[in-house]
Amino acid sequence: MTRISPKLLLAVAGLLIAGSSHAQTMTPTDETAVQQALNRGQLIYAFDQAAWHATDALLADAKRLGRTGDLGAKFGGWIVRPKDSETLEVLFFEREPGSPNVLYRAITSASGDVVRSHGFVDENSQQFDAQALRMITARRAGIEAMMKQGILRCASAQFNSIVLPPETPEGPIPVYLLSPQTDLAKVPFGGHARVLIAADGTVGPVHSFTKGCLDLPTRNAKNAPVMSMATLVLDPHPTEVSVFTMLAAGLPLYIATPDRRIWILDSPDGKAKISLLQSDK
């Protein structure tokens, strides 16, 4: 069962009483891990937002055009990727075992919360490029691996999937299954997993981010707190899912890691940051 450590509560209380806001120095290893968590976590949040708003546009267009009936039979899933520095591209694809076609395309803001253009794709423009096909293939392999392992589920609704593009042309593709937020007042901290799919299609080990379920309050909760707290037992640093959860909750998040260090995740200017507040090293 995932829970908030009493030691974390005491330590954070001590920091707040003392008025301590001075970040501790990170090692080069810390800085690399923290930057990767920030990069991936912000992408996951933006991609999740883009998929949500693009799906709303898809359903509205299908209803308007009388295509709701055949949508379920054709719909195979979606991927999101940066189109340029200011926009994201959401590609919905058909349910085909081989090379699927593009069914619907939406362009959103870089934050994913504004849909700028959308529509069903003409039959002459339905081919995916190589990167998109690789992401779709990785998505299928990753979801299959995680479901086969029986990862922890912390919501009654089905998992949300997120696929990130490779960080280098031949780098692995991270695939995530995330327990969805079903209540505006809380967001699941547990029930998330990741697998890396190599360029040759090799499926890496499944990594679960928690051993149990824990819901964190959001800024929309009644009597919302000024911050949230959680303890990690499977990772030595705050992860991309920690960043994603903090952004989804809209509240600062204090994290304790197994080495008894305390970190704070926040986004005071709209951009996520991670600071090391206390270290016993």
Sequence letter at residue 50: A
What CA–CA distance (Å, rounded) separates 109 from 244? 18
Ramachandran area for residue 41 (φ above 0: left; ψ -120 to 50: alpha; else beta): alpha
Res 65: pLDDT: 93
pLDDT at 1: 38
Two tokens, residue 232: 């990690």
At 2 the pLDDT is: 47
Instruction: Fill in the amino acid letter for 91.
Output: L
pLDDT of residue 139: 96
Give the residues across from 230 on adjacent strands. 255
Give the residues of the chain that fall short of pLDDT 70: 1-22, 97-99, 124-125, 280-281
Neighbour order of strands in the sheet with 228-231: 228-231, 253-256, 262-266, 273-278
Asked if 259 and 280 touch (Cβ cutoff 8 Å), the reply is: yes
Per-residue pLDDT of 106-125, as tens digits, reads 999 999 999 999 999 987 66
| pLDDT for the residue numbered 14 | 53
Q: What's the pLDDT score for residue 18?
A: 47
Q: Residue 51's pLDDT is what?
A: 97
Give the angle 41-275-196 at the CA atoms, nearest 5°: 30
Q: What pTM, to 2 d.p., does this model score?
A: 0.90
Q: What is the pLDDT of residue 21?
A: 55
- Tens-place pLDDT, residues 154-195: 998 999 999 999 999 899 999 999 999 999 999 999 999 999
